[in-house]
Structure 1
Amino acid sequence: MTEVTRAHVGQRMSQIVTHGDTIYLAGQVGNPGDSVADQTKTCIERVETLLAEAGSDATRILQCVIWMADMADFAEMNAVWDAWVPEGHAPARACGEAKLATPEYKVEFIVIAAKG
């Protein structure tokens, strides 16, 4: 049986769940009230930190689902994303509009990655 491990476990969620060689991250958000670009940068920083802790990095991201409070901000978010995603390692990605946990959140990243 493949082991499931969890890190940064709270009552509602774990920030990292690993099953075999696959890493699942909880949704990562930026600082409430920041611009879309700044929230995107913060999401990326948090994803990088959690992936490093789990034994991975941005080149090993398999999928990223991005929720945005307003698709009118799509280009602003993509400018930060495009500057960050490692060349030749773009993951499968989906992006949609949704109400986030609070109106101050503008973007949320949900990441699945491989260890290694």
Structure 2
Amino acid sequence: MSKILRTNPNPILSAAVEYHGFIFTQGVVARNLDADAEGQTRDILEQLDTLLEQHGTDNTRLLQAQIWLKDIKDRDALNKIWSAWLPENAAPARACVQAVMADPRILVEIMVVTTK
């Protein structure tokens, strides 16, 4: 049976789950919810960098991203930071939608799937 590695599990989720060299992250939100969409996106991407590094990978190995925005009008602000973070010609398959967030201060939430 293949091993499943769960990072920082709690009763409702794990920060990441690794299985057969694939890493699935939780939906990551900013630590500072007073920041604007650009600031929240920067913080989320920093957290993703750390989480992926813990699993021996990085943003050059992204396969898929799911992004939720409180207001789709923040898509340009998100894309500015997102595009600068992505390695050249290494964009994952991606969805980006407007959603009702769990906390009204959350402007951006990002979840990724990557491989080693």
Provide TM-score, normalisation by structure 1.
Answer: 0.96
- Separation in 2 of the partners of 1:91 and 1:39? 20
Shift of 1:23: 0.3
2:7 matched to which residue of 1? Answer: 7
- Which runs of structure 2 are paired with 1:3-42 in the superposition (5 Å)? 3-30=3-30, 31-42=32-43
Letter in 2 for 1:9: P
1:70 aligns with 2:75: no
Q: Secondary structure at the match of 2:33?
A: coil
Runs of 4 or more off by more than 4 Å in structure 1? none
Structure 1 position 32, deviation (Å): 1.0
How far apart in 2 are the matches of 1:32 and 1:12? 21
Name the counterpart of 1:101: 102
- Given residue 54 of structure 1, which amino acid in structure 2 is its aligned partner? H
TM-score by length of 2: 0.96
Compute the displacement of 1:25 (Å): 0.4
2-structure distance, mates of 1:33, 1:72: 18
In 2, Cα distance between equivalents of 1:82 and 1:103: 25
State the Cα distance separating 1:84 from its structure 2 match. 1.0
Question: Paired residues, what number?
Answer: 115
Q: Using the aligned pairs only, state the percent identity.
A: 37
SS where residue 109 of structure 1 aligns?
Answer: strand
Q: Aligned Cα RMSD in Å? A: 0.7
C-alpha distance in structure 2 between counterparts of 1:41 and 1:28, whole Å: 11
